[in-house]
């Protein structure tokens, strides 16, 4: 099986994000236009009620959206978040977050993605993101 160059590029960029290591986040899946990132519960990631902090969910789903956009960009391009909006729907009481980023419109300059953060078995939607990404020269 030959290696997938896009997946390598994304994994390598992800590994350079020290903050993703701080969160203990990892890439679960990379498809054309879609990336899934998970994050296991740790006390160090909690807000005042002992659940995952909204900032943790935002961080991983923003990354999932950015890498989803990157799957559709030419070699040599990188992607930056221009803006995002999060709706926090339920308390993040779960042993593991599953964040999905998916492209809904890709363009030469801008790519719009949607993101979802679910609980461990994906039975509950915890938050919903919409994000705009811009392609930049690496």
Residues of the shown chain interacting with a second copy in the complex, contacts defined by CB under 8 A? 13-14, 16-19, 21-23, 43-48, 53-56, 58-60, 62-63, 78, 80-90, 104-105, 109-110, 112, 114, 125, 128, 130, 132, 134
Is the CB of 2 or the CB of 33 nearer to a second copy?
33
Shortest Å, Cβ 1 to a second copy: 27
d(CA 52, CA 65): 19
Angle at 128 between CA 14 and CA 91, to 5 degrees: 100
Determine contact, residues 132/65, Cβ cutoff 8 Å.
no
Shortest Å, Cβ 35 to a second copy: 14
State the Cα torsion 83-58-119-91 to the nearest 10°.
-110
Provide the β-strand partners of residue 81.
133
Is the CB of 24 or the CB of 120 nearer to a second copy?
24
Shortest Å, Cβ 102 to a second copy: 12
């Amino acid at each position: 099986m030959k290696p997938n160059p896009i997946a390598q590029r994304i994994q390598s960029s992800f590994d350079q994000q020290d903050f993703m290591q701080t969160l203990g986040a990892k890439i679960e899946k990379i498809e054309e236009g879609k990336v899934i990132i998970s994050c296991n519960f740790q006390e160090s990631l909690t807000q005042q009620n002992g659940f995952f902090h909204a900032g943790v969910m935002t961080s991983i789903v923003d990354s999932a959206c950015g890498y989803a956009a990157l799957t559709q960009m030419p070699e040599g391009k990188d992607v930056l978040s221009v803006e995002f909006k999060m709706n926090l729907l339920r308390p993040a009481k779960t042993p593991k977050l599953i964040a999905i980023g998916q492209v809904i419109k890709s363009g030469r300059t801008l790519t719009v993605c949607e993101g979802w953060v679910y609980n461990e078995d994906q039975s509950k939607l915890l938050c919903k993101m919409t994000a705009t990404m811009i392609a930049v020269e690496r």
